[in-house]
């Protein structure tokens, strides 16, 4: 992940420059590899770079040859190789960066530019000739992005990867909505990502599940996310979603190793590939053959997990790693480690949501370990539960239509929950998380399946159809993707799976820090947004230490639907204990 900060139409941009650089520095953790800035007219772009693709030449902001269009991007454009080939007009690329293709796309497609992109991204583009700014965020909000204004600088518009860049200079901050583009010509946000499943939630799909199509779509999604010129790995909790991603990534790693030996010759020392002694260009990405080109070939895929001692997820993750043959790293953390990190976690998350903080803390600690091992990019399993109705409360869905509409709501809010967690917990240490389940082509397949196929029944565990898609027991010539006990393992929310003692300790510590009297007399500036538990109250107080009150409007609380429980933990849903009680009886 990179970090960006931008201000358009500042009344004195040169005078503002030192402040802009300071605001950019506030997200240097996202991009520790290099810093850059560009001023044109009354606009400044600031960029903090994490180099993953185009390592040797992709410093930002990116500028065209004529110095008329500048661009600051956080993210990855997986289809940039294809896009370069489809340009109608000649464009002299200045770098090998996957992101530079956005500039010629703008010159040809104007405000429709983001429709052509396949990737995760937040970007700000400035056209000097027209003194115009376009800004866009990826369809599902995988990368974090905020937009702000300030009453003391009317007319100016600010953009940043994280809210902490905007709070010192803006008094009005919003989450830049996923799938939207901002155009300064109209000063409006307009939706560009508009698939039928998203914009017509009452139109219930009737397409039967095609297991082969579903499997192929996820495999393709994982493959394109291996685009990198630096060491990468997979986050492996031992749950279904991360295990499937790890399994596919391992198959792709082995396949690419074989191809490199058979077809491409000797691997270059810089991660490119040599053919007949010549180094192939650095344009890593999906090409029109649907294959990755010049991807770095790893000797062995690294996988990472974390938990308290004896945590359910850590045990399951090791089983998966042993089955797949990854180079696995299990890290233990103590409850004290987690508690000590809480304030920093909330500062990086920019949230006081209970579920997000519970799950982000171990992910934050794990990311620090991963960074220490010089790994810059990891694949992760976020999004599957939203797409397939995997949370245990979905057992209570009243109908297929109700389930479908709830999955859309969850996907639409991912940028305020699990995407926020995955993005900010990892980028706090200069690590980039990529999420295959949220690929827009995969979503087109998965979200258009008849939701009756996703319903939980007596014979169907949560996420049955994605499990079934990777069940090869009836395919004797296809090796198993995962052991059956993992493929059919019940859902554990990450904050539970790292060890049940973690959530219990958070509740106990909150009880000590927040009195009954404090609960009866919440802060006046909170208005109607009053925490409903001592744990939530505790987190809100820590949030207030870092951010002014108006920043709270960017936070959403994660709560289960169709449940009377106020605690968002999966363990609070009755079916969780019921399932384990049944398993215990079977073993007895």
Helix orientation angle between 354-372 and 534-546, rounded to the nearest 10 degrees: 60
Instruction: Please give the Cα distance from 30 to 50 (Å, whole number).
Output: 7
Taking residues 481-490, what's their average pLDDT?
Answer: 92
Distance between CA atoms of 170 and 551, rounded to whole angstroms? 10
Query: Which tens digits make up the pLDDT trace of 163-200?
Result: 999 999 999 999 999 999 999 999 999 999 999 999 99
Domain count, the chain: 2
Quick one: what percent of the chain has pLDDT higher than 90?
Answer: 80
* 183 shares its domain with 293: no
Q: Identify which of 115, 94, 101, 92 has the alpha carbon closest to the alpha carbon of residue 73.
A: 101
For residue 257, is pLDDT > 80?
yes
Per the domain annotation, does 558 fall within a domain?
Answer: no
Asked if 170 and 234 sit in the same domain, the reply is: no
* CATH number, position 90: 3.60.20.10
Q: Is 57 annotated as a binding residue?
A: no
Quick one: 399 and 298 in the same domain? yes
So what's the pLDDT on residue 312? Answer: 84
Pair (157, 229) in one structural domain: no
Flag whether 218 is marked binding.
no
Q: What percent of the chain has pLDDT over 70?
A: 90
What pLDDT score was predicted for residue 39? 98
Quote the CA–CA distance of 536 and 554 in Å, as a whole number.
16
pLDDT in tens, 213-256: 999 999 999 999 999 888 899 999 999 999 999 999 999 999 88
Q: Is the pLDDT of residue 351 over 90?
A: yes
Residues 187 and 213 occupy one common structural domain: no
Does 541 reside within a domain? no
Classify each residue of 369-398 as buried b or exposed e, where b means 16 or more C-beta atoms within 10 Å of its C-beta: bbbeeebbbbbbbbbbbbbbbbbbbbbbbe
- Co-location of 169 and 296 in the same domain: no
449 is annotated as contributing to ligand binding: no
The whole-angstrom separation of Cα 252 and Cα 116 is: 26
422 in helix, strand or coil?
helix
Residue written as token pair 């109250």: 537
* pLDDT for the residue numbered 281: 44
Are residue 472 and residue 448 in the same domain, yes or no? Answer: yes
Same domain for 154 and 70 = yes
Clarify whether residues 255 and 290 are in a common domain: yes
62 assigned binding-site residue: no
Residue of 97, 53, 89 lying closest to 72 (CA atoms): 97
List pLDDT tens digits, range 260-273.
777 655 444 444 43
- Which pLDDT band holds residue 588 (cuts at 50, 70, 90)? very low
Sign, CA torsion 550/555/560/565:
negative
356 within some domain: yes
Q: State the Cα–Cα distance between residues 465 and 455, nearest whole angstrom.
A: 10
Q: Is residue 252 part of a domain?
A: yes
Q: Tens digit of pLDDT for each residue in 315-350? A: 999 999 999 999 999 999 999 999 999 999 999 999
Q: Is residue 538 one of the residues assigned to a domain? A: no
pLDDT tens-place string over residues 505-516? 999 999 999 999
- As annotated, the active-site residues are 2
Q: Is 98 annotated as a binding residue?
A: yes
E strand or H helix at 20 = helix 13-25
140 and 33 in one domain? yes
Give the residue from 358, 375, 324 showing the smallest Cα distance to 504. 358
Same domain, 233 and 374: yes
CB 121 within 8 A of CB 113: no
SS (H, E, C) 477-491: CCCCCCCHHHHCCCC
- Candidate from 43-52, 351-360, 390-399, 572-581 with smallest mean pLDDT: 572-581
- Determine the structural domain holding residue 345 and report its residue range: 206-268+286-494
- Check whether residue 169 and residue 297 sit in a common domain: no
pLDDT above 90: residue 1:
no
The verdict on residue 36 lying in a domain is yes
Residue 474 pLDDT > 70: yes
């Amino acid at each position: 992940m990179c970090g960006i900060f931008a201000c358009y139409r500042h009344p004195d941009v040169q005078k503002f420059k030192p402040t802009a650089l300071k605001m950019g520095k506030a997200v240097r953790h996202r991009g520790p590899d290099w810093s850059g800035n560009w001023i044109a007219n009354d606009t400044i772009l600031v960029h903090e770079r994490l180099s993953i693709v185009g390592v040797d030449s992709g410093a930002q902001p990116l500028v065209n040859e004529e110095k008329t269009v500048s661009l600051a991007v956080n993210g990855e454009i997986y289809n940039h190789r294809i896009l370069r080939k489809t340009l109608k007009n000649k464009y002299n690329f200045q770098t090998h960066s996957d992101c530079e293709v956005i500039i010629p796309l703008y010159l040809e497609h104007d405000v429709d530019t983001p429709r052509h992109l396949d990737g995760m991204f937040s970007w700000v583009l400035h056209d000097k000739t027209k003194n115009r700014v376009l800004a866009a965020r990826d369809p599902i909000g995988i990368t974090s992005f905020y937009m702000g204004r300030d009453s003391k600088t009317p007319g100016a518009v600010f953009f940043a990867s994280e809210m902490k860049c905007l709070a010192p200079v803006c008094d009005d901050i919003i989450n830049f909505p996923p799938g939207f583009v901002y155009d300064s010509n109209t000063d409006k946000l307009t939706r560009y990502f508009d698939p039928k499943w998203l914009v017509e939630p009452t139109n219930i799909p009737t397409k039967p599940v095609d297991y082969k199509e579903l499997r192929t779509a996820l495999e393709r999604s994982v493959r394109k996310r291996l685009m990198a010129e630096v060491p990468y790995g997979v986050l492996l909790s031992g749950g279904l979603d991360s295990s499937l991603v790890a399994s596919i990534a391992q198959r792709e790693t082995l396949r690419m190793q074989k191809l490199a030996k058979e077809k491409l010759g000797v691997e270059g020392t810089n991660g490119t590939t040599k053919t007949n002694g010549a180094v192939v260009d650095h344009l890593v990405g999906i090409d029109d053959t649907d294959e990755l080109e010049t991807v770095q070939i790893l000797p062995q895929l690294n996988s990472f997990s974390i938990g308290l001692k004896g945590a359910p997820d850590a045990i399951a993750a090791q089983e998966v790693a042993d089955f797949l043959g990854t180079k696995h790293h299990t890290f233990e953390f103590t409850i004290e480690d987690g508690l000590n990190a809480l304030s920093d976690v909330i500062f990086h998350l920019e949230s006081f949501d209970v579920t997000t903080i519970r799950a982000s803390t171990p992910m934050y600690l794990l990311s620090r370990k991963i960074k220490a091992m010089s790994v810059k990019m990891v694949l992760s399993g976020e999004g599957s539960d939203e797409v397939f109705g995997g949370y245990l409360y979905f057992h209570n869905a009243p109908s297929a239509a109700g389930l479908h509409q709830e999955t859309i709501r969850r996907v639409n809010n991912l940028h305020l929950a699990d995407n926020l967690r995955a993005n900010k917990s990892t980028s706090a240490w200069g690590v980039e998380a990529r999420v295959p389940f949220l690929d827009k082509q995969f979503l087109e397949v998965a979200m258009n399946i008849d939701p009756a196929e996703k319903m939980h029944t007596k014979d169907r565990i949560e996420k049955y159809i994605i499990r079934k898609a990777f069940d090869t027991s009836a395919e004797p010539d296809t090796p198993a993707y995962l052991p059956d006990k993992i493929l059919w393992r019940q859902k554990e929310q990450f904050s539970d799976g790292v060890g049940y003692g973690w959530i219990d300790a958070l509740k106990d510590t909150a009880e000590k820090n927040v009195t009954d009297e404090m609960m009866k007399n919440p802060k006046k500036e909170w208005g109607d947004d009053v925490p409903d538990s001592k744990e939530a109250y505790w987190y809100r107080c820590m949030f207030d230490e870092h951010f002014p009150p108006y920043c709270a409007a960017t936070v959403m609380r994660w709560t289960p639907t169709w449940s009377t429980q106020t605690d968002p933990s999966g363990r609070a849903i009755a079916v969780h204990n019921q399932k384990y009680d049944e398993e215990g009886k079977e073993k007895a």
